[in-house]
Structure 1
Amino acid sequence: MTPTAGLGLKSQHYDDAVACDAAGLWFEVHPENYMSAGGPRLAALEAVRARHPLSLHGVGLSLAADANPDRQHLAALKALVDRFEPFVVSEHLAWSTHRGAHQPDLLPFPRSRAALVRIADNIGRTQDALARRVLIENPSLYLPLKGHDLDEVDFLKALVAATGCGLLVDVNNVFVSARNLGYSAEAYVDALPAEAIGEIHLAGHGLDEGGSGLLIDTHGAPVAEPVWALYRRLVRRVGPRPTLIERDDDIPAFQVLMAERDRAASELAALEAVGV
């Protein structure tokens, strides 16, 4: 089966996922939730993987940290990759660990040339350990940082050139960051290197309840119409890519998520029909 549009897999939807036979459907999980020797969660993932393609989307490697990726974490990730043979492995362009402390978030960093060298080295170590290419996801940003030498797209391009990694383009992150920091989301997606894009994410966002006016990447709402429009702009230029609907909070019934997933599948099918 060729993966087209997929869903983030949630434990309450295991049975629905196994039973669903939608063409091109695939599922994505955070590998950190499955790094165990056994148990019902791994057994459920085995059952889903027997029916559908799978993607592993990491949240714990902390590639932008000022230290190498944790060897034990990499070994556990490699074991999952070998066991489930995902068609994509991805991670975030962010950090979450420092001097042994773990932060419960994916944190930003100044895009300096020194950071570029450090992160490229960490991506290289990860790809060597896994013996495969990894996709790197663009972050969602809320406030400007000092110390940038490169804009985000140029930084991503430089990582691709230095490591051979690919890109996971989170369109909602682009929209949220552009609105919060005051740049053009359209110019951002127009500048991305098409050949490097291996996956696309779509998710919902919300307005900061504290009254700051910031958009927050909540993953707790349906995909907003401006994000769908930005997605169409991207895929019409680069062509169809496996596309995921992410929902991590206020999770609705499986069929509600499938309706959003089917919308993405329809967008991709329309592109295929016209030969894009």
Structure 2
Amino acid sequence: MRLPIFSTPRIAGVGFKPEHFDAIVRDPNAVGFFEVHAENYMGRGGAPHATLERIRQDYPVFVHGVGLSIGSVGPLDKDHLARLKSMVARYEPQFVSEHLAWSTHDNSYYNDLLPVPYNTDTLVRVASHIDEVQDALGRSILLENPSTYVMLESSTMRETDFIGEIVRRTGCGLLLDINNVFISATNHRYAPETYLAEFPLDKVGEIHLAGHATEEDDEGCPLLIDAHDRPVASQVWALFEKAIASRGLLPTLIEWDNDLPAWSVLKSEAEKANMILSRFASPAHPELLRRAS
């Protein structure tokens, strides 16, 4: 049987965690959509697939990859890409996204999304990898802007220019992570509004929001970490509103991957996003207006 076909939800969703499954089933029309990490569903069966199949019957599902290592110097892992293709065919997600980062080297696999230098060599390599992924999946993907903590000396391009050229060469879309924008801007001491003004917002298909941790660097200046373990910060909410004002309504995901809260807490974050989205809604978006009322 074919899975249900949903229109693109221009409201807020959350990352699906099995710990919340029972609460979600008891909460009709809980959120607009759910997003899952692809790597958690690359096995053939078992409890993970049983719960996700149940969720997919009632909600749109987005797939977010964290291990493809699109920015790596070496070739893509063909087995990993094949498993991703199978998973995408199984669940028919609305969007498939990946990170502008690398996490593998030869036979080593890292638990972090590491930065790439923004130069011509990296541009050619990343574009080639994205072409390979899109050819394998038979669809375009969304590429997420990173959170960064260091500037690489070998970079010769601004991040926004690099990302814009990737889109031009590959035809991929973009996933705008607002929290990542704020983290990178704070860590590198530039205005996040400037970044948003230079970002190709017209190519954005989805937005991510998350919480971050605040530490200090060796000079006593703020150092933000993309922790995904707390509510969205007020500054990130403000940037989100500016992005929506410029781009219009988009599917907006609340990411909360560590120190998971109760379902009610996570859902309340999605409701905050819907309140902001509703300020720019029209009668053409009745579901959003209803949720925000």
TM-score, reference length from structure 1: 0.96
Q: Is the 8 A contact 2:178 2:240 kept in 1?
A: yes
2:160 matched to which residue of 1?
153
Question: Which residues in structure 2 correspond to 1:47-86 (within 5 Å)?
Answer: 47-86=54-93
Query: In the superposition, relative to structure 1, how do residues 56 and 171 fare at CA in structure 2: closer, same or farther (>3 Å)?
Result: same
2 CA distance for matches of 1:23 and 1:214? 35
1 CA distance for matches of 2:86 and 2:183? 34
Runs of 4+ in 1 over 4 A off after TM superposition: 209-212
Question: Which residues in structure 2 correspond to 1:128-139 (within 5 Å)?
Answer: 128-139=135-146
Superposition deviation, residue 58 in structure 1: 0.2
- Determine if the alignment matches structure 1 residue 163 to structure 2 residue 181: no
1:231 matched to which residue of 2?
240
Q: Counterpart of 1:208 in 2: which secondary structure?
A: strand
User: Match of 1:251, as an amino acid?
Assistant: L
User: Match of 1:242, as an amino acid?
Assistant: P
Q: Is the 8 A contact 1:140 1:217 kept in 2?
A: yes
1:220 matched to which residue of 2?
229
Deviates more, 1:152-161 or 1:66-75: 66-75
Q: CA RMSD in A?
A: 1.7
Superposition deviation, residue 275 in structure 1: 8.4
Q: Counterpart of 2:281 in 1: which secondary structure?
A: helix
Deviates more, 1:17-26 or 1:102-111: 17-26
1 CA distance for matches of 2:76 and 2:201? 28
- Determine if the alignment matches structure 1 residue 242 to structure 2 residue 242: no
2 CA distance for matches of 1:21 and 1:37? 28
1 CA distance for matches of 2:58 and 2:26? 8
Superposed CA deviations along residues 125-183 of structure 1, whole A, max 9, x for unmatched, are 00000001110001111122211111111111000000000100000000000000011
1:26 matched to which residue of 2?
33
Q: Counterpart of 1:214 in 2: which secondary structure?
A: strand
Superposition deviation, residue 17 in structure 1: 2.5
User: Match of 2:271, as an amino acid?
Assistant: D
Superposed CA deviations along residues 102-139 of structure 1, whole A, max 9, x for unmatched, are 11100012111110000000000000000011100011
2 CA distance for matches of 1:119 and 1:18? 40
1 CA distance for matches of 2:93 and 2:26? 20
1 CA distance for matches of 2:283 and 2:157? 36
- Determine if the alignment matches structure 1 residue 109 to structure 2 residue 100: no
2 CA distance for matches of 1:229 and 1:274? 24
- Determine if the alignment matches structure 1 residue 189 to structure 2 residue 196: yes
User: Match of 2:50, as an amino acid?
Assistant: A
Superposition deviation, residue 21 in structure 1: 2.6
Gap runs ≥5 in structure 2: 1-5, 286-293
1:91 matched to which residue of 2?
98
Superposition deviation, residue 209 in structure 1: 6.8
Q: Is the 8 A contact 1:62 1:95 kept in 2?
A: yes
Q: Is the 8 A contact 2:14 2:31 kept in 1?
A: no
1:178 matched to which residue of 2?
185
1 CA distance for matches of 2:202 and 2:30? 25
Aligned counterpart in structure 2 of residue 254 of structure 1, from 263, 275, 290: 263
Superposed CA deviations along residues 205-232 of structure 1, whole A, max 9, x for unmatched, are 1112777531111101100000000000
Q: Is the 8 A contact 2:31 2:270 kept in 1?
A: no
Aligned counterpart in structure 1 of residue 277 of structure 2, from 246, 268, 272: 268
Superposed CA deviations along residues 33-61 of structure 1, whole A, max 9, x for unmatched, are 11101101111000011111000000000
User: Match of 2:129, as an amino acid?
Assistant: N
2 CA distance for matches of 1:55 and 1:137? 14
Question: Which residues in structure 2 correspond to 1:112-123 (within 5 Å)?
Answer: 112-123=119-130
Q: Is the 8 A contact 1:18 1:51 kept in 2?
A: no
2 CA distance for matches of 1:34 and 1:15? 19
2:291 matched to which residue of 1?
none
Q: Is the 8 A contact 2:24 2:30 kept in 1?
A: no
